[in-house]
């Protein structure tokens, strides 16, 4: 693809001319290319199904690790001037820990998601015992997928490994080790709905 005469995706005011802008199409092309590269570099050796599954898993975890690195580093920048409110005084320790985890996840849903996807998470659910479900009904990177195609579905699920890593990386930097998985919620026409499940270790 040639250079894109692209729309900037910065969400801040246009007065600040020093702010770096990222081109949306370039980012999406890059992600697609990364997906291809990761598949190729984990290419299966023999033709049996087991090694195909193994190769797919290796590719997914490679992509997830990339996401982890990006998420971790981005979190350092975004939390540079942030403090998470909730005072621990007067609460029992388990409650205080749960409250601080909730603060961290809320930071993820708002500021972090805003920075990466220019919108916030649409729905946050928790069981207050270390499990969180984050739903995004319109994930930026999936919006251009053709509806109702099996190939696109598969690609979407593969691509979602990256945001999973982003979430895991950001939480890890805040001192919260977790396992992050995701579900593709697409219903045919809307190919960009997904949910992320965070289970704190």
Partner 1 sequence: ISLKQQFILHAALDRLEELDGPPPGFGWRSQGVNGSDAMWIGLLLPIEDTRVYGYMTTTKMKIMVVVEDTAVDPTSQKIRESDVKALMVEVHRHFVEYTLNPFNKLGDTMIVSSKFEEGVADCVRRFNNTV
Residues that bind partner 1 (CB under 8 A): 69-70, 72-77, 79-84, 87-89, 93, 96-97, 99-101, 173-175
Closer residue to partner 1, CB minimum distance, 14 or 83: 83
Single out the residue of 107, 132, 134, 110 nearest to residue 195, CA to CA. Answer: 134
Q: Give just the sign of the alpha carbon dihedral 160, 164, 165, 167.
A: positive
DSSP-assigned beta bridge partners for residue 198: 132, 180
DSSP 74: H
Closer residue to partner 1, CB minimum distance, 70 or 137: 70
Closer residue to partner 1, CB minimum distance, 70 or 157: 70
Task: Report the nearest approach of partner 1 to the CB of residue 57 (Å).
Answer: 23
Task: Report the nearest approach of partner 1 to the CB of residue 85 (Å).
Answer: 8
Closer residue to partner 1, CB minimum distance, 8 or 69: 69
Closer residue to partner 1, CB minimum distance, 78 or 159: 78
Task: Report the nearest approach of partner 1 to the CB of residue 105 (Å).
Answer: 13
CB 7 within 8 A of CB 22: no
Closer residue to partner 1, CB minimum distance, 176 or 194: 176
User: Between 24-41 and 150-159, two packed helices, what is the crossing angle to 10 degrees?
Assistant: 90
**Distance, CA of 9 to CA of 11 (rounded, Å):** 6
Task: Report the nearest approach of partner 1 to the CB of residue 129 (Å).
Answer: 15
**Distance, CA of 164 to CA of 196 (rounded, Å):** 7
Task: Report the nearest approach of partner 1 to the CB of residue 24 (Å).
Answer: 21
**Distance, CA of 183 to CA of 125 (rounded, Å):** 14
Task: Report the nearest approach of partner 1 to the CB of residue 55 (Å).
Answer: 25
What are the Cα distances from residue 73, in Å, to 37, 67, 118, 147, 189? Answer: 23, 10, 18, 34, 35
């Amino acid at each position: 693809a040639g250079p894109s005469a692209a729309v900037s995706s910065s969400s801040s005011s246009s007065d600040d001319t020093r702010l770096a802008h990222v081109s949306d199409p370039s980012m999406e092309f890059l992600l697609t290319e990364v997906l291809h590269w990761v598949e190729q570099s984990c290419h299966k050796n023999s033709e049996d199904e087991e090694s195909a599954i193994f190769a797919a898993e290796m590719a997914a975890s490679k992509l997830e690790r990339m996401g982890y690195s990006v998420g971790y580093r981005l979190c350092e920048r975004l939390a540079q001037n942030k403090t998470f409110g909730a005072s621990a005084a007067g609460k029992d320790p388990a409650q205080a820990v749960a409250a601080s985890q909730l603060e961290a996840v809320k930071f993820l849903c708002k500021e972090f998601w805003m920075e990466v996807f220019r919108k916030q998470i649409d729905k946050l659910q928790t069981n207050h015992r270390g499990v969180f479900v984050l739903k995004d009904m319109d994930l930026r990177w999936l919006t251009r997928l053709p509806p109702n195609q099996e190939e696109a579905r598969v690609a979407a699920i593969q691509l979602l490994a990256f945001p999973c890593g982003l979430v895991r990386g950001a939480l890890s930097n805040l001192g919260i080790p977790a396992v992050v998985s995701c579900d593709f919620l697409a219903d045919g026409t809307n190919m960009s709905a997904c949910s992320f499940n965070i289970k704190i270790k």
